[in-house]
Amino acid sequence: MTRHRQLLDALFPLVADLTRALPEQERYARLLQALQQLLPADAIALLRLEGDALVPQATLGLSADTLGRRFVVEAHPRLRVLLAAPGAMRFPPDSPLPDPYDGLVDHPAPHLDVHDCMGCALRLERTTWGLLTVDALDAGRFAAEHLEVLEAFAQLAAATVTAAARIEALTRSVQQERTRADALLASGVPRTLLGQSGVMQALREEIALVAASDLTVLITGETGVGKELVAQSVHAASPRAARPLVTVNCAALPETLVESELFGHVRGAFSGAVGDRRGKFEMADGGTLFLDEIGELPLGIQAKLLRVLQGGQLQRVGSDREHRVDVRLLTATNRDLPAEVRAGRFRADLYHRLSVYPLRVPPLRERDQDILLLAGGFLEENRRRMGLRGLRLTAGARAALGRHAWPGNVRELEHQLSRATLKAMQRQATATAAGQRIVSIGDEDLDLATPGADLGIATATPAPEVTTAITLREATDAFQRQLLDRTLRRHGGKLAAAAAELGVDRANLARLLRRLGMR
């Protein structure tokens, strides 16, 4: 086949794509496949400039976790130089600037540094959209002719991504006309919530949809699956994004403090209340209040919360005055709230009020294909934190992560990778400066024998969170019992004196003692 014919064959489908409404990911993947036909590359990537970082949108020949990474431009001089260059440029093999993909190019032999590297910024009018990068593992693979091909191709690529943006904008405006909620769906949510699996894409769409409204959202899911991140995403995509997001962990506060924490108090409301204090509801006025672990809220406070939700008015503890607040409420729990309602531990009316829009965050075992993506995100953070030049997973480690029966917990994956990073760094300790080191995490650095072994719980069961939540509650109760016992002993069993020392009022202390079964 002649060179020209080859060029045309690669480019024709892209020209046809310009007017087609393709999913963004597919459009980008087709772009890279076309470029692969034209250049003798080992790895190609399309990166989009988002704030201070370049975020991979599609890659070929790079390890799967690359897609989850964010390359902060300041930390990667080659990318910075490419962004500033007027056209395509090629780095000589002895360039002192480290290649961002060192150690990330898919190859059976680890640690293979990139030796020939070209790149070109994609510009639309005067705005830089991102970069195309092309790498080879041996020096001298590319020639001057390849640089020209890349520069010409980059112009078509820029047109393609513009087409994607235009088609997307068009779709968005059509949707905007349908409903306001649909419009929000199109505007997307913060990218911090990683995941490309079907369930995560569906969750993101739901987040965008509900964020537009002022509906109360109940976020459910097992421990550590990302419920708080979902709450942050809802707030960030909502019209209240510029106003505060105030978070309260209901499990972390003793019953006596929850009320004043939520609604505030006035001076003298209880011993220790030396001044007026705003509660979290008032702090969140105009914004969003996120009540985490709502299943732990004591029944007495549930009634007060319900009153605020019904009337939009709250009273500080010890005050008759009513304050009107404009707060959008998000709540989360890892408990089975309907079961709590049946057991009489949670008010049915409050449950219905809170679960106007339920969002379920799926456990990791329902989104296997996100594991490497999440791993990439966490590894990039670890790499930055440790000041390493590269931090990669060996093929064995990738396979082990993929094989592992992840129970549900993203936090567990995050901690696994932090531990593995330290182990790999220790195992491969060299005299090389951190900024020059590429560390490979092998399967021997991952501690994947027993899922959840470090938590001491049977995380492979479908509802591990119940065990964890009860343990936390029990631990809080045990701590409170010990504290009250000691204080009461010190005051010869006198309630009023003990209450004064603890900074709570006498009636509250009596209630707490009753709840804890202490006489």
Q: Which residues bind ligand ATP (CB under 6 A)?
A: 193-195, 221, 223-229, 292, 334, 374, 377, 410-411, 414
Residue 41 or residue 391: which is nearer to ligand ATP going by CB? Answer: 391
Contact 328, 287 (CB under 8 A): yes
CB atoms within 10 A of CB 145: 10
What is the spatial distance between Cα 334 and Cα 465, in angstroms, rounded to a whole number?
A: 6
Residue 100 or residue 224: which is nearer to ligand ATP going by CB? Answer: 224
Residue 211 CB, nearest approach to ligand ATP (Å): 16
Query: What amino acid occupies position 94?
Result: D
Residue 175 or residue 369: which is nearer to ligand ATP going by CB? Answer: 369
Residue 345 CB, nearest approach to ligand ATP (Å): 18
Query: What amino acid occupies position 198?
Result: G
The length of the chain, given as a count of residues: 519
Beta-carbon contacts of 370 under 8 Å, excluding residues fewer than 6 positions away, are: 194, 195, 196, 197, 200, 364
Residue 290 CB, nearest approach to ligand ATP (Å): 10
Return the HEC string of 52-116. CEEEEEEEECECHHHHHCCEEHHHCHHHHHHHHCCCCEEECCCCCCCCCCCCCECCCCCCCCCCE
What is the spatial distance between Cα 19 and Cα 292, in angstroms, rounded to a whole number?
A: 46
Residue 216 or residue 334: which is nearer to ligand ATP going by CB? Answer: 334
What is the spatial distance between Cα 129 and Cα 158, in angstroms, rounded to a whole number?
A: 8
C-alpha count within 13 angstroms, C-beta hemisphere, residue 102: 19
The strands making up 43-50's β-sheet, listed across from edge to edge, are 71-72, 53-60, 43-50, 127-136, 116-124, 89-91
Residue 43 or residue 231: which is nearer to ligand ATP going by CB? Answer: 231
Residue 144 CB, nearest approach to ligand ATP (Å): 42
Q: Is 368 exposed, middle or buried (0-12, 13-18, 19+ CB in 10 A)?
A: middle
Residue 55 φ then ψ, to 5°: -115, 120
Beta-carbon contacts of 36 under 8 Å, excluding residues fewer than 6 positions away, are: 44, 60
Residue 228 or residue 368: which is nearer to ligand ATP going by CB? Answer: 228
Residue 206 or residue 282: which is nearer to ligand ATP going by CB? Answer: 206
Residue 64 CB, nearest approach to ligand ATP (Å): 16
Residue 224 CB, nearest approach to ligand ATP (Å): 4
Residue 391 CB, nearest approach to ligand ATP (Å): 17
Residue 321 φ then ψ, to 5°: -70, 140
- Residue 462 carries which DSSP code? S
Residue 195 CB, nearest approach to ligand ATP (Å): 5
Nearest partner of 145 among 8, 1, 39, judged by Cα: 39
Residue 315 or residue 333: which is nearer to ligand ATP going by CB? Answer: 333
Residue 410 CB, nearest approach to ligand ATP (Å): 4
Residue 337 or residue 500: which is nearer to ligand ATP going by CB? Answer: 337
| Helix boundaries (H) for 285-370 | 299-311, 337-342, 348-354
Would you give the distance in Å from CA 104 to the centre of its chain? 23
Contact 460, 406 (CB under 8 A): no
Position closest to ligand ATP via CB: 226
Residue 152 or residue 229: which is nearer to ligand ATP going by CB? Answer: 229
Residue 327 CB, nearest approach to ligand ATP (Å): 20
Q: Is 353 exposed, middle or buried (0-12, 13-18, 19+ CB in 10 A)?
A: middle
Residue 230 or residue 350: which is nearer to ligand ATP going by CB? Answer: 230
Residue 359 CB, nearest approach to ligand ATP (Å): 12
Locus of tokens 């990537």: 45
Buried b (16+ CB within 10 A) or exposed e, 100-122: bbbbbbbeeeeebbbbbbbbbbb
Residue 2 CB, nearest approach to ligand ATP (Å): 48
Residue 230 CB, nearest approach to ligand ATP (Å): 7
- Which secondary-structure segment (H or E) carries 132? strand 127-136
Locus of tokens 């293979």: 112
Residue 229 or residue 341: which is nearer to ligand ATP going by CB? Answer: 229
Query: What amino acid occupies position 352?
Result: H
Residue 133 or residue 238: which is nearer to ligand ATP going by CB? Answer: 238
